């Protein structure tokens, strides 16, 4: 068994946590990290692209910021609801105006007209 002396010397690498059992290959979790000798501070959970994961667009680091963000979301929802109410009222007002004009035209059409006001020709 003297043909492979280097294999016998590399058996200690299997005990190091940064190497796989296979030998000198790095683990895939450490690949691409800037400081791969340190433990990561935070790693986000893996989320399938077809599923909805955590929203990292809102940065909240304190309870005051959380309260402010929740208040802003509440106000935004209230504004959207009030705008939809205003649009609904505008539509109802237009319908009422149209109905009022139609009623006036109908009343004008059935009202008797004086004959002296119009010329026959």
pLDDT, one tens digit per residue, over 58-89 is 778 788 988 999 999 999 999 999 999 999 99
Domain ranges of the chain: 80-111
Contact 16, 24 (CB under 8 A): no
Please indicate, yes or no, whether the overall pTM of this predicted structure exceeds 0.75: no
Q: Which residues pair with 62 in a beta bridge?
A: none
Query: What integer best gives the mean pLDDT of the chain?
Result: 76
User: Of all residues in the chain, what percent carry a pLDDT higher than 70?
Assistant: 64
Which of 20, 28, 24 minimizes the C-alpha distance to 9?
A: 24
Q: Please write the tens of the pLDDT for every residue from 31-55.
A: 566 777 788 777 777 777 787 776 7
pLDDT band at 17 (very low <50, low <70, confident <90, very high): low
């Amino acid at each position: 068994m003297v043909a492979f002396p280097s294999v016998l010397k590399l058996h200690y690498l299997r005990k190091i946590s940064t190497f796989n059992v296979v030998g000198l290959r790095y683990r895939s979790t450490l690949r691409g990290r800037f400081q791969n000798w340190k433990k990561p501070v935070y790693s986000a959970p893996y989320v399938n692209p077809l599923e909805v994961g955590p929203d990292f667009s809102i940065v909240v680091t304190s309870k005051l910021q959380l309260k402010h963000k929740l208040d802003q979301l509440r106000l935004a929802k209230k504004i959207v609801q009030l705008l939809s109410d205003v649009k609904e009222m505008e539509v109802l007002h237009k319908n009422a105006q149209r109905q009022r004009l139609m009623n006036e035209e109908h009343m004008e059409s059935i009202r008797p007209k004086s004959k002296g006001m119009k010329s026959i020709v």
